[in-house]
A and B are shown apart, each in its own frame.
Chain A
Amino acid sequence: MKKFTYSTAILDAYNFLLKNYPEVFVIGQGLWSPWYVGNTMKDLDKNFGKKRIIDTPVSEAAVTGAAVGASLNEMKPIVVHPRMDFMMYAMDPIINQAAKWSYMFGGQSSPSITIRGIINRGGEQGAQHSQALHSLFAHIPGLKVVLPSSVADARDLLIASVLADQPVIYIDDRWLYDQEDQLPEAKEINLESINPCILREGNSITLVGCSYSTFLLKQITKKLIKNKINPEIIDMRIINPFHSELITNSVKKTGRLFVLDGGWGPCGISSEIISSAVENVEPKFFKSKPARLTLPFTPAPTSKVLEKEYYPNEKKILNKIFKIFENNL
């Protein structure tokens, strides 16, 4: 089987969708550019034409709104925002319009739009070019929020998002792009059936992450095992709707919970994961308090020196987890 990377898997999803579904088109900034979206959209304009791969003016609000409109006219647009930060101009079409549309009209009309926001941080780009805002969207009823962490998910969840009949925020992370794996044939999965999954079974602690955080959790597995910690690792994959059962069951088994998130703590997905565990798991099951590691509650700094302090790394994660076992009963 040919090796794929996370980014070429995304490209594969586009190829699959554009080939099989004439109602799919892609719109956003930088789609004809060699720079904007890595190789996730390479040559799509050449292969499918500039009519279906539309590079746009710097007009996020209008472009996103127009895509919502197109989806109300039987098309399946994918809007690309090469940085999530730029999506902030498009909050009205996303949050007031797309997310509410079905509800407001009693389910008679639903925008089948996919909005792809790319997390693209680091590289000393600072506060307005570094935000991982998945939790913000997960707060909104009516928006599905999908965060693939694996190569296969990068492709299959994009396909599932586009084929779904509702607004989906699909968030990919540039820090995952070079991850390599084998890629089986493309699958059409019903988005409704997407749940968190257990990446590794274990019995001494439940580790939960999504997107790049899941990748970091996988990275530290060996070190944990060396320290006689046998972790169960859960990849969220979709954070709205929030599925708590798998985590609940896992925590009942392991008695410990650690959440890693690349966003901020307050009112974020890590808060949701921990509160749902506390609500759903009887206190007697807990061998230790749930814990989490998130970004410090500051905007992203610019300088390399501060960036090093800012982002979670192996050492910080391990220290947090070891602390959980230190406080062991």
Chain B
Amino acid sequence: MKDSNSKEIDSITSEKEINIDNFSRDELLEMLSKMILIRNAEYKIAKGREFGLVGGPVHLGVGQEAIPVGISQYLNNQDKVFGAHRSHSHILSLGIDLKSFFSEILAKSSGISKGMGGSMHLFGGSVGFCGSVPIVGGTVPLAVGTALASKLKEEKVVSISYLGDGAIEEGIVHESLNFARINNCPVIFVVENNLFSSHLNIKLRQPKKLTYRFAKANDIESKVLDGNNLTSICKTGKEFIRRCRDGEGPFFIEALTYRWFGHVDWREDIDVGINRSADDLKYWKKRDPILRLKKSLLKENYFGENHLINLEKDIQKDIDNAWVDALGESSPEWNESLDYVFKSNYK
């Protein structure tokens, strides 16, 4: 098979249906809906970018939906979540208002970052999303910091730090792992290992394709998971989050996955010449986290095909409406932007 899919990766991920024992119908339906919402919202953004409605770069996570959905299922609005450049899924999975989210992508002042950020700078205080920024690794120590604060305040609050296999290469991440461990910070590092850092396959950047060795080195309990298997993410997410609340953190989850779009914008990047091919993409699409979940649900007769079709239709309608509404919003004013530099300026 292709280069990016070694035996090691094959043995962790699979195209098989997903084991849904121990999950209720309602819970699975909720998570499936979220995954579909995230995917279709990203397709909407992809089109918007292609046709010039969206200005700045957008980093799409289609194919990676199971990870944040599985984690977010066990978080509440007091928990603190940090993302990076590819964070649409992180904030959507927390239940951010779709129209305000789209407004931000379209840089409208009614957006979740007041139109100042766009796709790469998302904020959602009301759902516990503390911020995402495009400096790779930049938010990792901040998540450790919110966790430290939770510990000092003796709150049972968990911090989540989403990062990629690229970000793990930044020195600041290793300082953060050690610091979190020595201070027992209630933080979970969630590495979405999609095997790529922009154009470079992980095998051209690291001696091993799995990054959990860095958790080991820092004596942090870790688990390597199939990132395209919702229920396996749920199981570990639930356990680690509970144990964090009980003062046992930090933890490290490595979730193997793949992005269907290229590094940035709507193209697939199967021609960048460095270990990403149409065959690879086909291979990973067979491991579609949504399709696999649907198959299990149908097989176990949780509901019928028609139910699923209607569900998708309803979600798409919500997306279309939110998008149109967001498009009609206005852009921020220049004076506003001066006000935001320091909080004290802000009226």
Question: Given A85-B135, A89-B172 in contact, is the A303-B200 Cβ separation under 8 Å?
Answer: no
Residues facing B in A283-329 (CB within 8 A) are 296-299, 301-306, 309
Q: Which residue of B lies closest to A129 (CB)?
A: B134
**Is A141 an interface residue, CB under 8 A from the partner?**
no
- Which of A30, A55, A303 is close to B55, meaning CB atoms less than 8 Å apart? A303
**Is A179 an interface residue, CB under 8 A from the partner?**
no
- Which of A60, A86, A303 is close to B115, meaning CB atoms less than 8 Å apart? A303
Question: Given A59-B171, A61-B171, A123-B56 in contact, is the A303-B272 Cβ separation under 8 Å?
Answer: no
- Which of B57, B133, B206, B337 is close to A298, meaning CB atoms less than 8 Å apart? B337
B55–A124 CB distance below 8 A: yes
**Is A186 an interface residue, CB under 8 A from the partner?**
no
B273–A34 CB distance below 8 A: yes
Question: In the complex, what's the smallest C-beta–C-beta distance from A75 to chain B, in angstroms?
Answer: 22
Which of B4-12, B117-125, B312-320 lies at the interface? Answer: B117-125
**Is B45 an interface residue, CB under 8 A from the partner?**
no
A32–B199 CB distance below 8 A: yes
Q: Which residue of A lies closest to B56 (CB)?
A: A124
CA distance A284 to B199 in the complex (A): 60
A126–B334 CB distance below 8 A: no
By a CB distance below 8 angstroms, the chain B residues around A15 are none
- Which of A57, A60, A124, A298 is close to B338, meaning CB atoms less than 8 Å apart? A298
**What is the predominant secondary structure among interface residues of chain B facing chain A?**
loop
By a CB distance below 8 angstroms, the chain A residues around B56 are 123-126, 302
CA distance A302 to B112 in the complex (A): 14
By a CB distance below 8 angstroms, the chain B residues around A109 are none
CA distance A1 to B172 in the complex (A): 49
**Is A33 an interface residue, CB under 8 A from the partner?**
yes
**Is B332 an interface residue, CB under 8 A from the partner?**
yes
Q: Which residue of A lies closest to B113 (CB)?
A: A302
Q: How large is the interface on B (under 10, 10 to 19, 20 to 34, 35 or more residues)?
A: 35 or more
B135–A128 CB distance below 8 A: yes
CA distance A254 to B117 in the complex (A): 44
**Is B137 an interface residue, CB under 8 A from the partner?**
yes
Question: Given A57-B206, A62-B171, A89-B172 in contact, is the A303-B341 Cβ separation under 8 Å?
Answer: no
**Is A199 an interface residue, CB under 8 A from the partner?**
no
B107–A128 CB distance below 8 A: no
Question: In the complex, what's the smallest C-beta–C-beta distance from B330 to chain A, in angstroms?
Answer: 9
Question: Given A58-B136, A123-B55, A123-B57 in contact, is the A30-B332 Cβ separation under 8 Å?
Answer: no
- Which of A34, A128, A302 is close to B116, meaning CB atoms less than 8 Å apart? A302
**Is A35 an interface residue, CB under 8 A from the partner?**
yes
B198–A296 CB distance below 8 A: no
Residues facing A in B306-347 (CB within 8 A) are 331-332, 334, 337-338, 340-341
A58–B121 CB distance below 8 A: no
Q: Which residue of A lies closest to B54 (CB)?
A: A124
B199–A33 CB distance below 8 A: yes
By a CB distance below 8 angstroms, the chain A residues around B273 are 34
By a CB distance below 8 angstroms, the chain B residues around A297 are 341
Question: Given A296-B338, A306-B337 in contact, is the A58-B169 Cβ separation under 8 Å?
Answer: yes
By a CB distance below 8 angstroms, the chain A residues around B134 are 125-126, 128-129
Q: How large is the interface on A (under 10, 10 to 19, 20 to 34, 35 or more residues)?
A: 35 or more
A303–B118 CB distance below 8 A: yes
Residues facing A in B157-186 (CB within 8 A) are 166-167, 169-172
By a CB distance below 8 angstroms, the chain B residues around A62 are 171
By a CB distance below 8 angstroms, the chain A residues around B171 are 59, 61-62, 89
**Is B33 an interface residue, CB under 8 A from the partner?**
no
Residues facing B in A120-140 (CB within 8 A) are 123-129
**Is B197 an interface residue, CB under 8 A from the partner?**
yes
CA distance A158 to B150 in the complex (A): 50
Question: In the complex, what's the smallest C-beta–C-beta distance from A29 to chain B, in angstroms?
Answer: 8
**Is B274 an interface residue, CB under 8 A from the partner?**
yes
B166–A126 CB distance below 8 A: no
Question: Given A58-B166, A124-B107, A125-B120 in contact, is the A306-B334 Cβ separation under 8 Å?
Answer: yes
Residues facing A in B190-208 (CB within 8 A) are 197-200, 204-206
B117–A306 CB distance below 8 A: no
B200–A55 CB distance below 8 A: yes
Q: Which residue of B lies closest to A56 (CB)?
A: B205
- Which of B57, B121, B197 is close to A57, meaning CB atoms less than 8 Å apart? B197
B197–A58 CB distance below 8 A: yes
- Which of B137, B263, B338 is close to A58, meaning CB atoms less than 8 Å apart? B137
CA distance A35 to B319 in the complex (A): 32
By a CB distance below 8 angstroms, the chain B residues around A55 are 200, 204
| Proximity bits, A44-83, B CB within 8 Å = 1, else 0 | 0000000000011111111000000000000000000000
Can you add 8 more A-B contacts, CB < 8 Å, to A58-B167, A302-B118, A303-B116? A32-B199, A34-B199, A35-B199, A59-B169, A126-B117, A128-B133, A302-B120, A302-B121
27 contacts between A and B (CB under 8 A): A30-B198, A32-B199, A33-B272, A33-B274, A34-B272, A35-B263, A36-B198, A57-B206, A58-B136, A58-B137, A58-B169, A88-B135, A89-B170, A123-B56, A123-B57, A124-B55, A124-B107, A124-B118, A125-B56, A126-B117, A128-B135, A129-B134, A296-B338, A302-B117, A303-B118, A305-B331, A306-B331
Write the residues of chain A forming the contact surface with B, with a CB cutoff of 8 angstroms. Answer: 30, 32-36, 55-62, 85-86, 88-89, 123-129, 296-299, 301-306, 309
User: Which 8 residue pairs of A and B lie closest in terms of their CB atoms, listed nearest first?
Assistant: A124-B56, A303-B107, A124-B55, A57-B169, A33-B199, A302-B118, A305-B331, A57-B205
